[in-house]
Amino acid sequence: MQTQLFIDGRFVPALSGETLATLNPHDNSEIAQVSMAGRADIDRAVDAAKAAFPKWSNMAAADRGRLLLKLADAIEANADELARLESLDTGHPIRDTRNLDVPRTAATFRYFGGMADKIEGSVIPVEAGFLNYMTREPVGIVGQVVPWNFPLMFTSWKMAPALAAGNCVVMKPAELTPLSSLAIAELMAEVGFPAGVVNVLPGLGHVAGQYIAEHPDISKVAFTGSTAVGRKIVQASSGNLKKVQLELGGKGANVVFSDANLDAVVQGSAFGIFHNQGQACIAASRLIVHESVADELLERFIALARSIKIGDPLDPSTEMGPLTSQLHRDRVLSYVDIAREQGGRVLSGGKAPDLAALAKGCYVEPTIVAAKPTDRVAQEEVFGPFVTVSTFSSDEEALAIANGTEYGLGAGLWTQNLQRAHLVARQLRSGMVWINCYKRVSPASPFGGVGASGYGREMGFEVMREYTQPKSVWVNVDANIPPYYPR
């Protein structure tokens, strides 16, 4: 297990010697002390990235791609260890980390490995006598700040496109969950990424994260995290006007029409909100149901929620693990009181599980709360296994509720009516919409939000626009044309 800063191809302690404990949320025991980067360490990493940039950005794109493909293979070869490390540090059940997080991480590096030599420019039809072409150049040194909810996967989402495009990276994982990003750095060194191309520095948000956002030699900052910190990143980045990409919070609407297939809704909605203990920006945290099917749906949804097996994330039969920290667990449980204060009714859960074996951990039962769409619990991101339920009587009302928060990241709808499905999808104010499914993601499909959920997109070709900048080149190809505009 690597616990030091990865700078210029080597694992080194922080210059200050400072460390921070990373804990196992199953029982709050210490897993390791991890080096904590300060501003001087970020400077070292930026210097290493600057030194590596000319060679890396000028390397044949196919060779950069080949390294990403080798990394994807190495991730698969080390899948069991990576899954275990991720489960230990985050609390995700091992069946999810092994079957979803690790394969998705490898798939993302592989997809962008294939993308590296397909980042084409274009020839633009301008007036006769001139050739105008546009190339896509890397942005330069890219700062990346990621949260704790899917640290392994987000390391790939952030690094893979940046590297494919020829950028060098300085990444800060979340202070709660630094281990899997450091493990990826170790694999990168093993498969032959040149020193300095990638630097991974665990550190505190308001110290190392803030400095990455401020740094005059960092040309772009890509941030995934809360909307509140996203605003700070924008302010901190203004010094050198760096490019900013923000993947922020969400309050996913999950709209069930009266003609929906309820079997599918129950399964899809449970996955939507309870997978990863609800710690997902795209979690289906608001169930919005047509009044004619609400009773039947709720009965089945509550029964499924109560049947979810909560336990030690390393137990392969566990379906739901602990939240990632004690502080966060307390915050999620505080929303149960907030719900009650505004007249909400707890239909299921709302407390820690009653199991002695889980008493030391950060566990919360799957929680279902009937609430008004304007209540705080239906407006604010709880980021836990906590779903609000409200009903509607017309499509217009459903849309008004669905679009009635400041967020706009992911939304789902369930109906068998094709026209309604596409009409509602068009009217949802949301970066992503799932019809008769929920929370599907792919390295090929654009991911991101609108409004308080941020701007810019991850994944697909869209993200290559984020990690490249266009250059327009004019060539005078006709000797008879004067090299200036005629007077």
Q: Note whether 268 and 412 are within 8 A (CB).
A: yes
Stretch that binds ligand NAD, among 53-61, 361-369, 446-454, 479-487 (CB under 6 A): 446-454
Query: Any catalytic annotation for residue 247?
Result: yes
Which residue type occupies 412? G
* Residue closer to ligand NAD, measured from CB, 112 or 383: 383
Decide the pairing of beta strands 410-414 and 432-435: parallel
- Of the residues 19, 132, 226, 326, which one makes contact with ligand NAD according to CB under 6 A: 226
The Cα–Cα gap between 406 and 250 comes to: 9
- Of the residues 65, 140, 196, 249, which one makes contact with ligand NAD according to CB under 6 A: 249
Site string for ligand NAD, 392-421 (x = CB under 6 A): -----------------x------------
- Of the residues 38, 166, 209, 366, which one makes contact with ligand NAD according to CB under 6 A: 209
Interacting positions 449-468 with ligand NAD (CB under 6 A): 449, 453-454
Question: Torsion angle of alpha carbons 18, 173, 139, 55, nearest 10°?
Answer: 70
* Residue closer to ligand NAD, measured from CB, 312 or 466: 466
Q: Does position 373 bind ligand NAD by CB under 6 A?
A: no
In sequence order, the 6+-apart residues with CB closer than 8 A to the CB of 276 are 92, 96, 149, 150
Q: 36-67 burial by CB neighbour count: b if 16+ within 10 A, else e?
A: bbbbebbbbbbbbbeebbeebbebebeebbbb
CA distance to 68, 157, 171, 289, per residue, from 106 (Å)? 9, 10, 18, 37
* Residue closer to ligand NAD, measured from CB, 247 or 312: 247
- Of the residues 140, 250, 408, 456, which one makes contact with ligand NAD according to CB under 6 A: 250
Q: Which of 86, 175, 214, 281 is catalytic?
A: 281
Q: Does position 224 bind ligand NAD by CB under 6 A?
A: yes
Q: How many CB atoms lie within 10 A of CB 428?
A: 20
- Of the residues 229, 260, 298, 464, which one makes contact with ligand NAD according to CB under 6 A: 229
Stretch that binds ligand NAD, among 3-11, 81-89, 201-209, 364-372 (CB under 6 A): 201-209
Stretch that binds ligand NAD, among 15-23, 42-50, 171-179, 331-339 (CB under 6 A): 171-179
Closest CA to 6 of 142, 202, 176: 202
Query: Any catalytic annotation for residue 437?
Result: no
Residue with tokens 């002390």: 33
Which residue type occupies 23? L
Give the nearest distance from C-beta 250 to ligand NAD in angstroms. 5
Stretch that binds ligand NAD, among 52-60, 142-150, 260-268, 344-352 (CB under 6 A): 142-150
Q: How many CB atoms lie within 10 A of CB 302?
A: 17
In sequence order, the 6+-apart residues with CB closer than 8 A to the CB of 464 are 115, 119, 136, 161, 164, 165
Give the nearest distance from C-beta 483 to ligand NAD in angstroms. 48
Interacting positions 258-287 with ligand NAD (CB under 6 A): 281
Q: Does position 233 bind ligand NAD by CB under 6 A?
A: yes
Interface ranges with ligand NAD (CB under 6 A): 145-149, 172, 174-175, 205-206, 209-210, 213, 224-226, 229, 232-233, 247-250, 281, 381, 383, 409, 449, 453-454
Give the residue numbers annotated as catalytic, written as ranges: 247, 281
